[in-house]
Chain A
Amino acid sequence: MTAAATPEPGIDITDAAVDFPIFDAKTRSLKKAVLGRAGGQIGTDSKVPIIEALRGITVSLRTGARVALVGHNGAGKSTLLRLMSGIYEPTRGRASVVGKVAPVFDLAVGMDPEISGFDNILIRGLFLGMTRKQMESRVDDIAAFTELGDYLSMPLRTYSTGMRVRLALGVVTSIDPEILLLDEGIGAVDAEFLAKARARLFELVERSGILVFASHSDEFLADLCDTAIWLEHGTIREHGPLREVLHHYKGRDVLAEKGR
């Protein structure tokens, strides 16, 4: 009844695969496609090579899910996050994502160096699905958090890397997502600020219905997540409680070593 009016946020992925066609300069050209079709048999090499980034992925997440994504580089963590965000639709299988998604993959994307910090806050927020009004009401809060003061009216190109990260983190942690997708790489800020960002990040996670977090930092994962998905070569190797999965993945009980 009420559920029909505002569907509960959730991620349902069934037997999904993500295949990337790899076009080199030759296969991506029209000439090849046209000639290949007309020429008939010669076209065996015109078949586009494919990278199977993910296959046979079946995941179902509901409100309250706090999922860690672990796996080696290239195991498909980022691709899975992008599948969950709706950027990639599965090449095979099904994926349904219901709810307001906030992907936090690359803090630099969507930042315009020529416009002021304030304008960047607004644009970034709009991209993350906020309305203009919502952003205007939050801008003071974000400004206070970033501690950038008058710098916010300067163009972004005058900022140092650390200042940019502050700004991006400020916006990202101010939103109200139903599904929060975090990719690693939230670093490059000084320790004092990081402590503050951590607190805000935790608040953000608490506000959001579903969290999926890809990281190599066991400590961060232990703080934020309770379950984990272990990806290997594009498939789900294991999906279960965080401690167990991390134990199998690392081959030792890392959380116990950290005294948790």
Chain B
Amino acid sequence: MTTGEHRADGGGQPSAPALPDVPGSRSWQRAFGDLGSGWQQRSLWGYLGWQDIKQRYRRSVLGPLWISISMGVIATAMGILYGALFGEPVHTFLPYVATGLLIWNFINGCILEGSEVFIANEGLIRFLPAPISLHVYRLLWRQTLFFLHNLVIWLLLVVIFPQPLSATVLLAIPAFLLLVINGGWLALLCGIIATRFRDIPPIIASVTQLLFFMTPIVWSYERLKSNPLSAYLELNPVMHFVEIVRQPLLGQPIVWRHWAVVGAITVVGCGVALLCLRNYRSRVAYWV
């Protein structure tokens, strides 16, 4: 009888409700699927990321404007102090420090919050099914919004202290995009590892502190050039990221070496992070 029904059905349907072909937990398809469906939920993380910012300044009169103001205060103070220390002229050094700081803030945010990205969202991960990349997108979006707020300070400074800006300023856009992509893989990678090994966040916190001083932000790389040890500074990957964004923003000559280094880091980093996503994506819910 059943066979008769199947004939009537006309061979289009499989005779038994065969198991759907599910790719295993550790497959590229699932890894990219996670990134893809996370991206599709951009109205959600877009809203959440914006809420995160508003949240921080809720009930304050100036609201998110405080981001720009506190950035401005720190940049001015550091610019004047370190300018005096190193004998640099204020009209070039102040914009230099401020621009470096705002780039650093983005990188720092991606690294520090990246290592906590899944731990901090434990409740959401354990109770609502969502691609884990959603939390990374939200973080990147929040950091981008911070960056845009801080960019106001840069704009103010280049108006007050005119810099030799040229058409190369447009290079800041692809440079920032590279920064975002790298922030993304870094947050994903650090996030997954730190969820499994809880010693990672403090390690990362101390390393980033060290990196800040190793990176030419409050001091100028040019002045160290005469020192033979300065070549080692090139080993600091953060320096290249800061340079590719800062050079166009200040109208400095573009050094393509930095772009090449950043390009290589982007490719390798994305590869490693994707591999990690593929292998450990499904474990994050168990680890948080």
Output the least CB separation between B52 and chain A (Å): 10
Considering only residues 44-96 of chain B, those with a C-beta below 8 Å from chain A are 44, 47-48, 51, 55, 58
Contact of B47 among A25, A96, A123 (CB under 8 A): A123
The verdict on A115 contacting chain B, using a C-beta distance below 8 Å, is yes
In contact, B286 and A14 (Cβ under 8 angstroms): no
Determine if A30 and B199 form an interchain contact, defined as CB atoms under 8 angstroms apart. yes
Q: Is the CB of A85 within 8 A of B129?
A: yes
Asked if B22 CB lies within 8 Å of chain A CBs, one says yes
Which of chain A's residues have a CB closer than 8 A to the CB of B22?
94-96
Interface footprint category on B: 20 to 34
Q: Is the CB of A87 within 8 A of B199?
A: no
Contacts of A91 in B (CB 8 A): 286
Nearest-neighbour CB distance to chain B for A14, whole angstroms, equals 6
Q: Closest approach, in angstroms, between the C-beta of A8 and any C-beta of chain B?
A: 10
Q: A85-B129, A131-B43 are in contact. Are A110 and B20 (CB under 8 A)?
A: no
Contact of B124 among A3, A90, A110, A114 (CB under 8 A): A110
Interfacial chain B residues near A103, Cβ < 8 Å? 127-129
B127 touches A105 (CB 8 A): yes
Please give, as numbers and ranges, the residues of chain A lying within 8 Å of B128 by CB-CB distance.
87, 103, 109-110, 127-128
| Cβ B285 vs Cβ A28 within 8 A | no
Q: Smallest Cβ distance from A186 to chain B, in angstroms?
A: 15
- Min CB distance, A217 to chain B, in Å? 21
Interface check B17, CB cutoff 8 A: yes
Question: How far apart sit A7 and B21, CA to CA, in the bound complex (Å)?
Answer: 13
Complex alpha-carbon distance, A95 and B129, angstroms: 14
Question: Could you tell me if B20 and A87 are in contact, using CB atoms closer than 8 angstroms?
Answer: no
Asked whether any CB of chain B lies closer than 8 Å to the CB of A63, the reply is no
| Distance in angstroms between the alpha carbons of A21 and B283 in the assembled complex | 10
> When each residue 129-158 of chain A gets 1 if its CB lies under 8 Å from chain B and 0 otherwise, what string results?
001100000000000000000000000000
- Cα(A214)–Cα(B135), bound, Å: 29
A204 neighbours in B (Cβ, 8 Å): none
In the complex, which residues of chain B have a beta carbon less than 8 angstroms from the beta carbon of A25?
Answer: 198
Q: How large is the interface on A (under 10, 10 to 19, 20 to 34, 35 or more residues)?
A: 35 or more
Q: Which residues of A contact B130 (CB under 8 A)?
A: 127
Q: Is A60 an interface residue (CB 8 A)?
A: yes
Instruction: Give Cα A126–Cα B49 distance, bound, in whole angstroms.
Output: 14
Which one of A7, A21, A106 contacts B127 once the chains associate, using CB atoms below 8 Å?
A106
Q: How far is the CB of B174 from chain A (nearest CB, A)?
A: 30
Q: What does the 1/0 interface line of B22-41 toward A look like (CB < 8 Å)?
A: 10110000000000000001
Give the distance in Å from the alpha carbon of A33 to the alpha carbon of B20 in the complex: 38
Q: Within 8 Å of chain B (Cβ to Cβ): is A31?
A: yes
Contact in complex: A1, B12 (CB < 8 Å): yes
Q: Are B127 and A87 in contact (CB under 8 A)?
A: yes
Q: Is residue B171 contacting chain A, with contact meaning CB distance below 8 A?
A: no
Residues of A near B286 (CB, < 8 A) are 20-21, 88, 91
Distance in Å: Cβ of B201 to nearest Cβ of chain A: 11
By the criterion CB–CB under 8 Å, are B41 and A126 in contact? yes
A-B contact pairs, 22 of them (CB 8 A): A1-B12, A7-B20, A20-B286, A28-B196, A28-B197, A29-B199, A30-B197, A30-B203, A87-B129, A87-B285, A88-B286, A89-B25, A91-B286, A94-B19, A94-B24, A103-B127, A109-B127, A110-B127, A122-B47, A126-B41, A126-B43, A127-B124
Residue positions of A touching B, CB distance < 8 A:
1, 3, 7, 10, 12, 14, 20-21, 23, 25, 28-31, 33, 60, 82, 85-91, 94-96, 98, 101, 103, 105-106, 109-110, 112, 114-115, 119, 122-123, 126-128, 131-132
